[in-house]
Amino acid sequence: MTATFLDGARRATRSMRHPTGALWALTALAAAIVLVFLFTDLPGKWEYALGLRTRTIAGMVIAAAAVGASTVLFQTITANRILTPGIMGFDAVFLAIQTLVAFAIGPALLVSAPPLASWLVELVLMGGSIVLLYWWLFLRRRLDLHVIVLAGLVLGVLFRSVTGFLQRLLDPDTFAILQDLTFASFTSVDRELLLPTGVLVIVALASLWPIRRELDVLSLGESTAISLGVPHRRVVMHVIVAIAAMVAASTALVGPVTFFGLIVANLAYGAVGHRHLRSVPAAIAIGVIAVVGGQLILSRLLGFGTELPVVIEFVGGLFFIVLVLTGRAR
C-alpha cells in the first residue's frame, strides 16, 4: 500500500511539472476554493447568503479574468515582465474621470447616477482614450512601441498629478465620498454591472483566439515576429483594443488594482510557461485563487476587516521590487 501511495505521489508530481497538468491543477484548486467560499458557514436563511456570495464570486472571477489576462497580453507586446496596464496609467484615467466630475459638478451626480450609465461612460472614456492614443501614435505616427509605452507612463503620471491636485481642493465631505467610490473593492460590486462586464471580458478574450499563435510568436520579439510573417502592428493594435476593453470594464466594476496583475502573470509563467494557450488561463485561475482564497482567509479565518485590495497592493509592491532587483524584468 505504501509503495502504491508513493507511486501515485510521484505521478502527481510529474503531472504538476507538466504545463498542462499544472494548468488543470490550478483550475481544480480555483474551483475548490470557490465552492468552499460559497457553501461554508451558511446561516439559517441560506438563500439570501448564497445569493450574496454568488454575486461576490462573480465579481471576483470577472475581475481576476480581466486583470490577469490583460497583464499577460500587455507583457507580451512590451516584452517586459514588470509592466502592467495599471502601472502604465490605464486606471489613472478612471481616477481622473471621477475626480473631475466631483470637482466640476459635485459628488451628488456620482452617487445618484444609475450604475449602468456610469459604467458605460467610464468604459467609453477609459477604453476610448487608451485606444485612440495608441492608434494615433502606433499606427498613424508609426512610432516605436517602447516610445509609446513611455508616453503612456508619462501621461499616467500626469493624470495622477492632476487628480491629486484637484482632490486637495475638494471639501472634506466630497473627498470622503470620492475616496469611497474610487477605492477598489471585490465585495461591493453592483449586480447590474456583472452581466455586461462579464460579456465584454468574454468577447475580448474570444477575439484573441484566432491570433493565439501570433501571440506566441510576438513573445520572441518584434523583429523575429516580423521575419516570421506576423503583421506586427495590426496584431499589437488588436491586443491593445482587447486590453483596453478588459481593463476599463474591470476598473469600472471593482476599481483600480495596480499590482494584482503583476503577481498572477508572473506566477502563471512559472507554473505553465509563456505559451498563451496555457499562460492566460493559468493567470485567470491564479487570480481567482488569490482573490477568493484571500477573501476567505481574511474574513472567515482571521476575522479581519481589512479590504483585500490593500493586502494585494502591499504584496504586489514587494513583488515588483524583487523582480526589479533580481533583473527578471524580461
pTM for the full predicted model: 0.85
Residue 56 pLDDT > 80: yes
Q: What is the DSSP string of 6-31?
A: HHHHHHHHHHHHSHHHHHHHHHHHHH
In the structure, what pLDDT confidence band is assigned to residue 287 with cuts at 50, 70 and 90? very high
CB 47 within 8 A of CB 240: no
List the Cα angle 91/96/98 in 5-degree steps: 100
Report the run of H or E that residue 178 belongs to, with start and end. helix 172-182
**Mean pLDDT of the region 89-105:** 79
Q: Which of 31-45, 81-95, 264-278 has the weakest average pLDDT?
A: 81-95
Residue 5 pLDDT > 50: no
The string of pLDDT tens digits covering residues 138-188 is 777 777 777 777 777 788 888 888 888 888 888 888 888 777 777 777 777
List the Cα angle 228/233/237 in 5-degree steps: 130
Whole-angstrom Cα distance, residue 57 to residue 186? Answer: 9
**Grid cell listed for 41:** 458557514
Cα 227 → chain centroid = 32
CB 138 within 8 A of CB 233: yes
